[in-house]
Amino acid sequence: MNQQISISNLTVGYDNKSLLEGINLATKTNKIIGVFGRNGQGKSTLLKTISGLLPPITGSFNFESIDILSLSEKERAKVLSIVSTTQNNIGGITVKDFIAFGRFPYTNWLGINTAKDYQEIDNAITLCKLTDLANRNYDELSDGEKQKVNIARAIAQNTPLIILDEPTVHLDLINKVEVFKLLKELTTNHNKTIIISTHQIEYALQICDEIWLINNNEINAYTPTNLINENKLSELFDEAIISFDKGSQSFRLK
């Protein structure tokens, strides 16, 4: 099988102090990959490293034969976009102009946007259901609204890979569900590959095609069904908190 995502001998951490060592994973693109693990076990560090925000201690990350970690910031921004939990405090800018920041890899030194740029911006606003907020000031939004705008900015960047670190942390229940539905639509209808860390296990298991599970300083890949059948979540959380309903083909919290 031709693997299009490859992590080879990757060790991640800070100041040469490793959190996860010798990571080797390979899979295909155009899917949703969930990253599960307890707090402090390296989920965010892994995502920051493969995003290029944090240098690896050793190893490589390749996406569709592109060595991501060797790219310049601008070239990397044409391949992957990032959504984190960090809230931006920017005043005096509209939501639409903030989303337009996602087009920075494609603009020239004057910052002039083309018709394609505006099309991508409008498309992101529509997908994220932000039309009513487009002309609002970004700094007047709630934390949940800002997070949806952050996701829209990543969509406007129009990269084949989107990496999200706890993207629903500031959202209420309805908006969490909308975001997970949106992520599924992006892979199904827009050929995106999504890597997402989340504590929203019940929802993530509904949409993820693959799970990277971090436990005891190791990371392994599973399908959602195998993750449950092999009791891997029970090992992680010390109790069976998830069940799989074969009739409805869905997961639920016990």
Q: What is the pLDDT of residues 18-46, one digit of tens each?
A: 999 999 999 999 999 999 988 888 899 99
Residue type, 179: V
- Whether 206 and 44 have beta carbons less than 8 Å apart is answered as no
Please tell me the distance from the alpha carbon of residue 175 to that of residue 178, in angstroms, as a whole number: 5
- Residue 241 pLDDT level (bands cut at 50, 70, 90): low
- For 59, left (φ over 0), alpha (ψ -120 to 50), or beta? left
pLDDT at residue 59, as a whole number: 96
Question: Measured in Å, how far apart are the chain's first and last C-alpha atoms?
Answer: 36
Please tell me the distance from the alpha carbon of residue 10 to that of residue 8, in angstroms, as a whole number: 5
Q: Are strands 5-14 and 58-63 parallel, antiparallel or unpaired?
A: antiparallel
Q: What is the pLDDT of residues 84-130, one digit of tens each?
A: 876 667 778 999 999 999 998 888 766 667 888 999 999 999 999 99
pLDDT at residue 1, as a whole number: 44
pLDDT at residue 240, as a whole number: 47
- Looking at residue 56, the DSSP 8-state letter turns out to be -
3-state secondary structure (DSSP) of residue 230: coil
Please tell me the distance from the alpha carbon of residue 68 to that of residue 75, in angstroms, as a whole number: 9
pLDDT at residue 252, as a whole number: 55
pLDDT at residue 43, as a whole number: 92
Nearest alpha-carbon partner for 197 in 172, 226, 219: 219
pLDDT at residue 238, as a whole number: 56
- What is the 3-state secondary structure of 125-139? HHHCCCHHHCCCEHH
- Whether 195 and 183 have beta carbons less than 8 Å apart is answered as no
Rg for the chain (alpha carbons), in Å? 18
Q: What is the pLDDT of residues 51-60, one digit of tens each?
A: 999 999 999 9
pLDDT at residue 85, as a whole number: 75
- The structure's pTM equals 0.89
pLDDT at residue 57, as a whole number: 94
Does the pLDDT of residue 150 top 60, yes or no? yes
Q: Please compute the mean of the pLDDT values over residues 199-207 and round it to a whole number.
A: 86
